Amino acid sequence: MGALLTIDDVHVRYGDLVALRDVSLTVAQGEVVCVIGPNGAGKSTLLAAVAGGVTPWRGSIRFGDTEVVGLRPEVVARQGLSLVPEGRHIFGTLTVDENLRIGGFIHKGRADAKADYERLLELFPRLRERLNFPAGRLSGGEQQMLAVARAVMTRPRLLLVDEPSLGLAPRIVDQIYEILLDLRQREGLTLVINEQSSNRILKHADRIYVLRGGRIQLEGRAADLADGEAIRSAYFGFG
Ligand code: ATP
């Protein structure tokens, strides 16, 4: 199957700091690809570059047939790409319902917005129970579900998820992954997920990239990296 996302030789700088160098990565339609790496490796920067939040000073990022470097985030989003940012960025004083409706705004006026909303509540029954709660009063896991729900409101083809496990208990993280994999199963959603740790990722991902110091150190199929040894070396820079 053809690549849905093709990142080719991307460099990103923040002033003098080079956050990504020579980064190339592909994601096929329907794949679950995980990017793992320590704090500051450049994982968030990579997703931001794809979503139009930062502009690389070199390289190309193609989403389907469209070159997205230089496009504004809302324009990239309209191509069918959605980002769940680290820290979730939900509106704590607004209700769950209001947060979800905000997710639909970029497609305002779409006739099927109501159907999208109904579909979401089916996918996230937990959120249906909490619709009139202020989002700030949800548990961490529910907030993460809300952030995912909001991002998939408009039926993206590609979902980028930045560290969904952050600060959540293992049992809750399992639930979040169940939801993400269910979305792939039901809707053919393609996923790129950033994580700091590889344990869970090895179970769920098709392929893995290890990013450290702004460079891809290792790439491979999760099944081939299952013993974790090569990942540990790449992650910590041994050998
Ligand atoms: P974390 O797990 O902490 O989110 P990360 O792997 O996502 O780390 P990035 O957040 O992409 O890494 O950061 C990569 C490097 O770029 C770090 O050295 C970080 O300090 C720096 N950086 C990130 N954003 C900015 C910015 N807006 N301005 C300047 N430097 C930045």
Q: Per the structure block, which two tokens stand in for 68?
A: 């997205």
CB 174 within 8 A of CB 150: no
Closest atom of ligand 1 to 86 CA is: 4
What residue owns the CA closest to ligand 1's atom 23?
45
Residue 214 CA: nearest ligand 1 atom is 14
Where is pLDDT greater, at 239 or 103? 103
Q: Which residues contact 179 (CB under 8 A, 6 or more apart)?
A: 123, 124, 145, 148
Query: Do residues 12 and 19 lie in contact, with contact meaning Cβ atoms separated by under 8 Å?
Result: yes
State the chain's mean pLDDT as an integer.
Answer: 91
Number of Cβ within a 10 Å radius of residue 229: 11
Atom 28 (ligand 1): residue with closest C-alpha? 14
Mutate to test the pocket of ligand 1, among 10, 36, 43, 217 (most ligand atoms within 8 A of CB): 43
- Separation of CA 50 and ligand 1 centre (Å): 15
With contact defined as beta carbons under 8 Å apart, do 22 and 29 qualify? no
Q: What is the pLDDT of residue 144?
A: 93
Gap between the Cα atoms of 223 and 202, Å rounded: 8
Q: 87 in ligand 1 pocket by Cβ < 6 Å?
A: no
CB 165 less than 6 A from any atom of ligand 1: no
Q: Which of 132, 129, 124, 45 is nearest to 83 (CA)?
A: 45
- For ligand 1, pick from 21, 44, 165 the residue to mutate: most ligand atoms within 8 Å of CB: 44
- pTM for the model stands at 0.93
Pocket flag, ligand 1, residue 45 (CB < 6 Å):
yes
Nearest CA-CA partner of 142 in 197, 93, 179: 179
23-60 tens-digit pLDDT? 999 999 999 999 999 999 999 999 999 999 999 999 99
For atom 14 of ligand 1, the residue with the nearest CA is 42
- Which of 207, 210, 208 has its CA nearest to residue 233? 210
Confidence of residue 9 (pLDDT cuts 50, 70, 90): very high
95: DSSP letter: B
Specify the residue with its C-alpha closest to ligand 1, atom 16: 19
CB 1 less than 6 A from any atom of ligand 1: no
The two three-digit tokens of residue 78, written as one number: 């309209």
14 Cα distance to chain centroid: 22
CA 124 to ligand 1 center in whole angstroms: 31
Q: Which atom of ligand 1 is nearest to the CA of 41?
A: 6
Structure-token pair, residue 230: 């090569």
Per-residue pLDDT tens for 209-226? 999 999 999 999 999 988
Q: How far is the CA of 112 from the centre of ligand 1 (A)?
A: 38
β pairing state of 207-212 and 215-221: antiparallel
- Answer yes or no: is the C-beta of 41 below 6 A from any ligand 1 atom: yes
pLDDT value, residue 201: 84
